[in-house]
């Protein structure tokens, strides 16, 4: 049976169904076809930075994209932009007001959620017991640039380093059925299905237009009721590791370093 890998880089908020993971507030999510979403990844809408982020905590705009570097199908290539580099071509497209899902998936085996316990949690690290925005729970939200939805057939691996928690998802598809990605637009238009080759890697990227900063993680708060413009979060200082590319003072005190694919 076919498998693909979905890599998440940058600011993504992973939401996990309550009945599978007790740390997440209750929510009800459905995919475009009415099936239950077990795991929704929200790419926050950084266009709202100007009105939602405290001016003392500057965050650069982030550009959400879907990137394919190899094994791209012809129909998916038609809707993406091709770029030629010295390392070979790659394709990308903006993820704005889109929901990405997967078709013909198989039933996931093993411990679906275990790896995700390694990611920091908004609910544990934020004061005031924040809740999910109703628009994130039940429909489309202006606070999101895009959704990536998994209903079944997926396992996760978390790669941790000094500054990030990078999440990779492996999606398994039914035997003798083509691997496929679905794309649905916010305006309610019918979803479009694109076949994928076995072994394809999809990169979901939501990184800043300039270097990331210590406050990028605040974009994750767009999925919650926290008002970071009026009351920036105060978190415990995190341990500093020698050899990183930031000054030790960035780790001391109340701020959190740049996140990647975290904070469910």
pLDDT(243) > 50: no
Give the domain ranges of the chain. 3-250
**251, pLDDT greater than 50:** no
Q: pLDDT tens across 33-55, in order?
A: 778 888 899 999 999 998 888 88
**pLDDT value, residue 128:** 66
Instruction: Please answer whether residues 84 and 90 qualify as being in contact, where contact means their C-beta atoms are separated by less than 8 angstroms.
Output: no
Confidence band (pLDDT; 50, 70, 90) for 260? low
pLDDT band at 252 (very low <50, low <70, confident <90, very high): very low
pLDDT score of 117? 78
Distance in angstroms (rounded) separating the CA atoms of residues 182 and 14? 19
pLDDT score of 125: 72
pLDDT of residue 139: 79
Residue 76's nearest CA partner among 203, 195, 204, 200 is 195
In this structure, the chain runs to a length of 264
Please, which pLDDT band fits residue 137 given cuts at 50, 70 and 90?
confident
**How far, in whole angstroms, is CA 51 from its chain's centroid?**
22
What is the predicted pLDDT for the residue at 28?
75
């Amino acid at each position: 049976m076919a498998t693909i890998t979905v890599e998440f880089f940058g600011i993504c908020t992973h939401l996990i169904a309550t009945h599978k993971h007790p740390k997440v507030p209750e929510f009800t999510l459905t995919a475009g076809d009415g099936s239950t979403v077990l795991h929704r990844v929200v790419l926050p809408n950084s266009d709202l930075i100007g009105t939602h982020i405290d001016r003392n905590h500057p965050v650069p705009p982030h550009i959400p994209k879907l990137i394919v570097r190899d094994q791209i199908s012809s129909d998916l290539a038609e809707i993406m932009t091709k770029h030629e580099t010295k390392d070979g071509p790659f394709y990308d497209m903006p993820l704005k007001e889109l929901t990405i899902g997967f078709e013909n998936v198989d039933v996931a085996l093993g411990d679906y959620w275990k790896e995700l316990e390694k990611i920091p949690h908004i609910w544990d690290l934020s004061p005031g017991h924040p809740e999910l925005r109703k628009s994130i729970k039940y429909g489309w939200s202006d606070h999101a640039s895009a959704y990536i939805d998994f209903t079944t057939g997926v396992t996760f691996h978390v790669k941790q380093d000094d500054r990030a928690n990078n999440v990779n998802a492996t999606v398994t598809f039914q035997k003798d059925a083509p691997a496929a990605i679905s794309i649905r637009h916010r305006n309610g238009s019918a979803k479009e299905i694109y076949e994928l080759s076995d072994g394809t890697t999809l990169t979901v990227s939501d990184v800043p237009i300039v270097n990331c900063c210590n406050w990028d993680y605040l974009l994750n708060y767009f999925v919650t009721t926290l008002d970071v413009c009026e009351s920036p979060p105060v978190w415990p200082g995190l341990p500093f590791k020698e050899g990183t590319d930031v000054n030790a003072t960035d780790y001391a005190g109340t701020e959190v370093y740049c996140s990647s694919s975290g904070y469910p």
